[in-house]
């Protein structure tokens, strides 16, 4: 008996861009420029620049270089999945597996704020942080925080972390 292989995504991917969309049929990739928006099921991604590989179900988003901004980037990605929102410098996300890799992430969890240099998101929404900070101060450069070498965030439940420093 042959098992039918399930290919493709469960729902359509909707995407828009204010500047331009370049589609390369040979490699089945799309490049979106200028105030882009990519939606898939309960995921919403807004960024200035997006690259999508339609064969492998990958989306990669980043901002554009801007010398006037403090971070050196403008139009950085804002990733929303369900009730959770993540602001970051770059993100790579797989539509099918719902896994992602995020650089320089900033997110609010309950009454606190988490930042991290590198974060990975698994398929059940858990986030694994490396070189993170937790604070209740909403400033870009908080006066106080707990420095986390590693942490695991289960949104809506808890945060578990390894060595921490005040």
The structure tokens listed for 32 are 């979106």
pTM of full prediction above 0.75:
yes
Q: How many CB atoms lie within 10 A of CB 109?
A: 17
Place of tokens 């719902």: 98
Tens of pLDDT along the chain (166 residues) come to 444 445 567 788 899 999 999 999 999 899 999 999 999 988 999 999 999 998 888 999 998 887 776 667 788 999 998 888 889 999 999 988 889 999 998 888 778 888 899 999 898 888 899 999 989 998 878 889 999 999 898 877 888 888 877 7
């Amino acid at each position: 008996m042959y098992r039918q292989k399930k290919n493709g995504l469960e729902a359509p991917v909707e995407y828009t861009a204010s500047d331009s969309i370049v589609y390369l049929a040979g490699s089945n990739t799309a490049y979106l420029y200028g105030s882009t928006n990519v939606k898939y099921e309960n995921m919403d991604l807004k960024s200035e620049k997006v690259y999508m590989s339609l064969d492998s179900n990958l989306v990669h988003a980043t901002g554009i270089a801007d010398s006037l901004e403090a971070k050196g980037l403008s139009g950085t990605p804002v990733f929303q999945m369900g009730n959770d929102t993540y602001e970051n410098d770059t993100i790579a996300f797989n539509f099918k597996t719902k896994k992602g890799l995020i650089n320089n992430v900033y997110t609010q969890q309950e009454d606190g704020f988490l930042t991290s240099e590198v974060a990975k998101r698994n398929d059940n929404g858990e986030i694994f942080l490396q070189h993170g900070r937790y604070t209740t101060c909403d400033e870009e450069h908080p006066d106080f925080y707990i420095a986390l070498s590693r942490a695991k965030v289960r949104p809506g439940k808890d945060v578990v972390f390894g060595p921490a420093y005040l």
